[in-house]
Structure 1
Amino acid sequence: MLRRTPPALAVALLLCAPTAGAWAGSPGRQVAVVDQASRSVLVLQSAEELMAYRGPDRLPVVWGWSADRAPELADLSPARSWTNPDEAKSRVRHGRRYLLTTASGGLAAVVETTTGRVHWAADLGVAVNPHSIELLPDGNVAVAASSGGWVRLYAASQGPRAAAYAQFPLPGAHGVHWDGRTGLLWVLGDTALTALRVGGTPAAPTLDTVRSSPLPGSGGHDLAAVLAAPGRFWVTTSDGLWRYDPVTDRFTAVHLADPAAERDLKSVGDEPGTGRLLTVAPEHEAPCDWCTSVITLHRPEGARSLRGARLYKARWWSGW
């Protein structure tokens, strides 16, 4: 097990961690976690190495990022706006890998992992609770804000602080995903999964509804591609885990070995090549009712406890 790691130590570990170029020879797929204890996105060793890890003196971190250590974001008040980071995605555009991240405090950012350069960032305000983010092929950025009740498509292609946007109202907006197969932007709210068509120009985008499907349960939270079945999506609600097929417009319940593990999931995804599922669910214990220190794997089953961490989401670090 890992000892409680103070934020200062976590920062030191990140500064000496290997760069993106060192990952290629590592076995298995790395896991990215959003750790609110260290206010960081951490990329950890592969699931296989995590399961066997016993070193008590350091986190098994291979790369990480925090807005607290990004001087170019000083104008966005990261001490406040980077409070409670809640999303981490990996995307590859024009051969470059990017970290996509948001925080409940208001920050949304896209960061090139090799250089640490911020492609785009904005402070959207603590009242709106940014909850997920997506990078489009033209360089624009979509953000879902749960308390704001909207999804915005920012003209991020126009510069690192571009502020123009198109907005789609969506109560409880929690998830956003670009489907390159259909050219649709899928967005997840409290009660519906909606597909949007992006129009206009990169400098002045527009959003129009193509279709909307009611969820099989309330409290939509996470939306991700099913990598083993392109075109389909993982969807989590307060009380269930689902696979959605846009062709049939059908949600199919996904059952895990432990039925309790299907509820209140903050994130879900299948590992490229193996199909192994990775989920995170809160432990509902102080000091963070919405966090956990446990990464859970399914098919085959397994769990890894990162003592002292306050994890909100965990995702396979794939740039599909």
Structure 2
Amino acid sequence: MLRTPCLVGAAALLLLGSPLAGRAGARSYGWEVVVVDQASRSAMVLQSAEELMAYQGPGRLPVVWSWSADREPALADLGPARSWTNPSEAKSRVRAGRRYLVTTASGGLAAVVDTATGRTRWAADVGGAANPHSIELLPDGNAAVAASTGGWVRVYAASQGPRAAAYAEYRLPGAHGVLWDGRAGLLRAVGDAELTALRVGGTPAAPTLTPVRRTPLPDGGGHDLAAVLGSPGRFWVATLRHLYRYDPDADRFTPVRLSGPHADRDLKSVGDEPFTGRLLTVAPEHTGPCDWCTSVITLHRPEGARTLRGTHLYKARWWSIR
């Protein structure tokens, strides 16, 4: 189900989240924020960071767009009541002029959703025992999935149809993050102990994965991997204890210190808004019924936090146009 209260049409949705997408002639507010909320079992696009900081609530959540597998009859064959349990990832990806939501759930579902139509371009149940944690859309239309408990990174032949099941697999213990590096033409993935660069070969129908570089992490428990949008070619790498910027040319991790003694620990997601320099992070509160979740979105440079009551957020990312 597509919910777009203020914009309609493919062109409008492609601009959604762009700093160029003005609001009734007002100044730009920057990119919106996409979150995965395990309480409502949905991926939600919220207002921009600046608007979120001004949001008083809690009468309503400032939701611009949302999607849930529970609302998609076309996914009934994948058992979303089970496979869509605990949504774990949501990213914006633009390919060939169209924007897609790419998303996973720990219950096993991985999906690529066309935001202009709300239709699922590709989906698979990779198994709840695998605990998929992240997904990436490759230039050829295939989908890379990282599964932490399964200990693997797979490239599914998603370009071949909505239920294409063929895949190539690379074993990576604790695989939590996966990201396409367009500059190097490599698929990068982070696991418990290493950051790995993989060459995607073969054909779209029969992909292959070959390791190119394996770099030990400075400390254990790699969790998130994201491009540093303000410095192309660099990457954010979050572990249980620290946040780093990784430079693949120098093969070097540089610690990033955030405000507060523990602000850079146990981050589930991190990203920068390049034209403002703001960082967006999410870290669990370790309280209540969801030990790995939070209801707080945190901003850095400048600092700010917004509590979205009633939510169980796992990740928050900029709804970027990359």
**Interval containing the TM-score (normalised by the shorter chain):** over 0.9
Conserved 8 A contact 1:31-1:314:
yes
> Residue 298 of structure 2 corresponds to which residue in structure 1?
296
Question: How far, CA to CA, are the matches of 1:162 and 1:80 in structure 2?
Answer: 20
| Secondary structure of 2:249 counterpart | coil
Q: In structure 1, what is the equivalent of residue 287 of structure 2? A: 285
Verify the 8 A CA contact 2:279 2:299 in the aligned structure 1. Answer: yes
Select 1:230's aligned residue among 224, 227, 232: 232
Q: Does residue 155 of the first structure (1) align with residue 157 of the second (2)? A: yes
1:52-131 equivalent positions in 2, closer than 5 A: 52-131=54-133
Contact conserved, 2:58 with 2:308, CA < 8 A, in 1? Answer: no
What amino acid sits opposite 1:215 in the alignment?
L
The alignment-based identity, stated in percent, is 76
Assess, with a 3 A threshold, how the Cα gap between structure 1 residues 16 and 142 changes in structure 2: closer, same or farther. Answer: closer
Quick check: 1:44–1:62 contact (8 Å CA) kept in 2? yes
Shift of 1:15: 4.2
Give the CA deviation at 1:55: 3.7
Q: Counterpart of 2:250?
A: 248
Is this contact kept in 2: 1:272–1:318, CA < 8 A? Answer: no
**2:33 counterpart of 1:17:** no
Matched, 1:197 2:199: yes
Q: Which residues of 2 match residues 206-225 of structure 1 at below 5 A?
A: 206-225=208-227
Q: CA deviation at 1:56?
A: 3.2
Mapped partners of 2:162, 2:277: distance in 1: 36
Any conservation in 2 of the 1:80–1:105 contact (CA below 8 Å)? Answer: yes
Amino acid at match of 1:100: V
Amino acid at match of 1:149: G
Return the TM-score normalized by structure 1. Answer: 0.94
Give how far 1:272 is off: 2.7
DSSP-derived class of the 1:132 partner: strand
Q: Is the 8 A contact 1:192 1:220 kept in 2?
A: yes
Q: Structure 1 residue aligned with 2:189, among 187, 202, 207? A: 187
In the other structure, the counterpart of 1:5 is none
Distance 2:151 2:127 in 1: 13
Which moved further from structure 2: 98-107 or 268-277?
Answer: 268-277
> CA RMSD, aligned part only?
1.2
Residues in 2 aligned to 1:89 and 1:16: alpha-carbon distance in whole angstroms:
18
Deviation at 1:57, TM superposition (A): 2.0
Task: Quote the offset at 1:274 in angstroms.
Answer: 1.1
1:268 maps to amino acid: V
Asked if residue 275 in structure 1 is aligned to residue 263 in structure 2, the reply is no
Distance across 2 between alignment mates of 1:124 and 1:89: 19
Report the CA distance between 1:25 and its aligned residue: 2.2
For 2:164, give the aligned amino acid: A
Question: In structure 2, the residue corresponding to 1:50 is in which secondary structure?
Answer: helix
Aligned to 1:33: 35
Task: Say which SS state the counterpart of residue 127 (structure 1) adopts.
Answer: helix
**How far did residue 16 of structure 1 move?**
6.2
CA distance in 2, matches of 1:290, 1:187: 21
Structure 2 stretches lacking a partner, 5+ long: 24-28
2:152 and 2:57 mapped to 1: Cα distance? 43
Equivalenced residue count is 308
Q: Secondary structure at the match of 1:73?
A: helix
Residue 264 of structure 2: aligned partner: 262
Contact 2:133–2:177 (CA under 8 A) maintained in structure 1: yes
Aligned-partner SS, 2:65: strand
Asked if the contact 2:102–2:112 (Cα under 8 Å) also holds between the matched residues in 1, the reply is yes
Q: Following superposition of structure 1 onto structure 2, how do residues 126-141 of structure 1 map, counting pairs within 5 Å?
A: 126-141=128-143
In structure 1, distance between residues paired with 2:58 and 2:174: 40
Contact 1:218/1:237, CA 8 A, preserved across alignment: yes
